[in-house]
Amino acid sequence: KDYVHSEVTESNSDCDVIEGPSRISLSCPISRTRIKLPVKGHVCRHLQCFDFWNYVDINNRRPSWRCPHCNQSVCYTDIRVDQNMLKILEEVGCNVPDVLISADGSWRVVTDNDENVPETTHNQGDPNSFQNLGTTVLDLTRDDNEMETSSGTKGDEHKPRVSETQGPSTNTHNLATDYTMLNQSSASVDALPQLPQT
């Protein structure tokens, strides 16, 4: 049951940030239904996939061609089938909503005991490794204009540029029409359009 993400990082004893397990939903963030064909953009760095059919359908109706998870531009030619997630979807039952994927690529089904999975974990080989690290406290109860960190500096603010909010200028109707005619529920992976795979 090894899920090896292309960017699995090697263990570094000097690294201050250690990636913990990631809880990944098997439901599409667009429709909130089970993913049938797991895809993501080739520039996306997250593990979360979305369903190809839902993505093409929503962009056929209202073109934006943005990743529903990270908001990166993902035009039709940038879509990649995630073979590892496809394998996970085939191996788990239909009633499994989430899986936990570890930094080493291994995965397991989420159980009731995993409700409070920590975002990060510490190096268990050295219990004192995080004792002297400074922390930055961000007060989320304040107004955006007065948000400051405990060190007294204003938090970084990112405002989208016009170029970031506009999708690619392609004729989305022609791209999607061919694929929406296929019967989504009965289409096998072999009968799907030729998409690059990760």
Extents of the domains making up the chain: 1-8+19-115+169-198
Give the per-residue pLDDT at 104.
85
pTM for this predicted structure = 0.55
Give the per-residue pLDDT at 71.
96
Give the per-residue pLDDT at 50.
98
Give the per-residue pLDDT at 115.
59
- Tens digits of per-residue pLDDT, 38-77? 999 999 999 999 999 999 999 999 999 999 999 999 999 9
Give the per-residue pLDDT at 20.
82
CA-CA distance, 189 to 4, in Å (whole number)? 21
- Which residues does the chain have with pLDDT short of 50? 1-5, 8-12, 118-135, 147-188
Q: Which fold has domain 1-8+19-115+169-198?
A: Herpes Virus-1 (3.30.40)
Give the per-residue pLDDT at 114.
58
Give the per-residue pLDDT at 105.
82
Give the per-residue pLDDT at 135.
47
